[in-house]
Amino acid sequence: MTFQPSVISSQPQVNVQQFTVSSGLSDWTSGTLECCDDCGICLCGTFLPCILECKVAQDSGETCCVAFLPGSSVALRTHIRHKYRIEGSVCNDWCVMACLYQCGLCQMAREQKMRA
């Protein structure tokens, strides 16, 4: 009995499929500075921001009084982001509402209107 080594002429092939993991997060339907996309919301946000924030709060299932609490606009923006699975952070929400309050408020109102 003689031993003959076998010769390997080909390597086994492995089929590797690539896949991407989606976070499922989206973007805002309009930008923060696109206030004029909806003139009614823009005018209300410019001249009656408390009324607009009250409407945004009510449309989010909160009481109108939320609009008059300190820091509530940041919490409201964060709530809307989570509800619609919009990418962002609390820090970003704070920056927008602290520096561009009326624009951020109009953006929230437009988002609710687009997704209603």
Number of domains composing the chain: 1
Q: Is 81 inside a domain boundary?
A: yes
One-character DSSP codes across 30-49: S-TT-GGGSHHHHHHHHH-H
- The torsion angle over the Cα atoms of residues 66, 89, 59 and 40, rounded to 10 degrees, is 100
Provide the residue range defining the domain that includes 82.
Answer: 35-115
For residues 108 and 56, the answer to whether their CB atoms sit within 8 Å is yes
Which range is least confidently modeled, 4-13, 30-39, 66-75, 84-93? Answer: 4-13
**What is the predicted pLDDT for the residue at 86?**
96
**What is the predicted pLDDT for the residue at 98?**
96
pTM: 0.78
pLDDT at residue 16 greater than cutoff 90: no
Q: Is 111 inside a domain boundary?
A: yes
Which range is least confidently modeled, 12-21, 54-63, 70-79? Answer: 12-21
Q: Is 9 inside a domain boundary?
A: no
pLDDT at residue 105 greater than cutoff 60: yes
Spell out the residues 6+ positions from residue 27 whose beta carbon is closer than 8 angstroms to its own. Answer: 86, 87
Tens of pLDDT, residue by residue over 32-67, are 999 889 999 999 999 999 999 999 999 999 999 988
Backbone angles phi, psi at 41, to 5 degrees: -65, -40
User: What's the mean per-residue pLDDT of the chain?
Assistant: 88
pLDDT at residue 10 greater than cutoff 60: yes
**What is the predicted pLDDT for the residue at 7?**
66
